[in-house]
Amino acid sequence: MRIDSSNIPDKFSFEKEKAIARTFAQRFQWEMMVIGIGQAIVWFSMWFLVINNYISIWVGFFVATICACLSYLPSHEAQHGNYSRGNRKKKWLDALIGNISLITLMYPYPIMQVTHMKHHAYTNDPEKDVDYDIVSSKNAWEVFLATADGTDKYQGIYELYKDDQNFVDKFSQGLLISWVQRLVQLTLVVFFPLETLFLWFLPRKIGTFYTALYFSWYPHKGLAIGRYKDSKFWVNFLPRYLTHSMQLHFVHHLHPNIGHWSEPEAIIALKPFLLARGVPGAEHIPDKINYRPLIGKA
């Protein structure tokens, strides 16, 4: 990607920014691995506990919904190869966590991976951004409508990128996984109708909506196309963790290899660069963080 640095002082050059960012792209993201695998284990256990009447279906629904809300980000780290960190011998770890973590949301990891790479390449582009249906939503209800039909939009995305062989290969792999997931769900619903509704279908819909709202919509809403223009920093009263850390989504778009749990430290270190580049909302970045998983004013 070509970056216009004509008005940027040398001390805020892209090379220097990248060098700082790289220092936060080293650590193994064990927290995300624990969350990804952990939520899947908890979610599976809900089936056993509810079907055998150890807990009520309402408790199961509540826990399964939390699992669904936690399931995308660990897979997202895998999509960027942030577990293997370029080590080919550890690629299996990306695939393992990426696939297992997404079972709760019933999304096929290979399709999520290739489409997410296209989102990074064409963020906010009305023609090419795979998330543009969500990005262009005017309000939360429109986000809900955009997510309500699950994987329906992916056929159109396939048509858009069918000349990209890597995309087609991954998409085909993901399609098979998607069919297996659908078949499993349709089999389960025959034998365990209400359990399938309350432990999988509804939590999945809520988790998808929640993720789309904080992950795909708000960080990009109303913004332009361009490396330093397409995502914003924002704050609200909730701790970072409860909002899926999406206040920091902009730094992820700038440097996707920074580990999710290292992003708070990274934005503090990169703040002068982000201000110099005029990143939306950069002026609200605090000067220091008060507790690692939380963002608070200094």
Partner 1 sequence: MQFLLESVSTHIQDWGKVWFGLIFWGSIFNEILLYNPFQAFNIAINLFPYLLGLCFGLIAKLRGRWI
* Binding-site member from 48, 54, 179, 241 for partner 1 (CB under 8 A): 179
Task: Return d(Cα 106, Cα 99) in angstroms, integer.
Answer: 10
| Least Cβ distance, residue 189 to partner 1 (angstroms) | 5
Whole-number Å distance between alpha carbons of 243 and 61:
20
For partner 1, which is the closer residue by CB, 152 or 287? Answer: 152
CB 66 within 8 A of CB 45: no
* Choice between 192 and 234, CB closer to partner 1: 192
Region binding partner 1 by CB under 8 A among candidate stretches 6-14, 54-62, 176-184, 275-283: 176-184
Among 110, 103, 94, 92, which residue's Cα sits nearest to residue 39? Answer: 103
Q: What distance, in Å, lies between the first and last C-alpha atoms of the chain?
A: 34
Pick one of 3, 19, 186, 225: the residue that binds partner 1 (CB under 8 A). 186
Question: 19: helix, coil or strand?
Answer: helix
Residue 184 interacts with partner 1 (CB under 8 A)? no
Within 13 Å, how many C-alpha atoms sit on residue 95's CB side? 10
Give the residue with the Cβ less far from partner 1, 148 or 224: 148
Q: With respect to partner 1, which residue has the nearer C-beta, 124 or 181? A: 181
In DSSP terms, 291 is beta-bridged to: 294
Helix (H/G/I), strand (E/B), else coil: 291: strand
Q: Which is nearer to partner 1, 75 or 104 (CB)?
A: 104
Q: What are phi and psi of 192, to 5 degrees?
A: -130, 70
Least gap, CB of 169 to partner 1 (angstroms): 12
Q: Do 216 and 245 contact (CB within 8 A), yes or no?
A: no
CA distance 123 to 116: 10
From the list 96-104, 175-183, 234-242, 286-294, the region that binds partner 1 by CB under 8 A is 175-183
Which residue, 196 or 216, is less far from partner 1 as judged by CB? 196
Q: How far apart are CA 96 and CA 231, in angstroms?
A: 29
- The C-alpha angle 136, 141, 146, rounded to 5 degrees, equals 55
Which x/- pattern over 127-156 shows residues binding partner 1 (rule: CB under 8 A)? ------------------x--xx--x--x-
Q: What SS3 class is residue 269?
A: helix
Residue 175 in contact with partner 1, rule: CB under 8 A: yes
Least distance to partner 1, CB of residue 232, Å: 29
Smallest distance from the beta carbon of 190 to partner 1, in angstroms? 5
Stretch that binds partner 1, among 25-33, 195-203, 258-266, 278-286 (CB under 8 A): 195-203
Residues of this chain that interact with partner 1 (CB under 8 A) are: 145, 148-149, 152, 155, 172, 175-176, 179, 182, 185-186, 189-190, 193-194, 196-197, 201
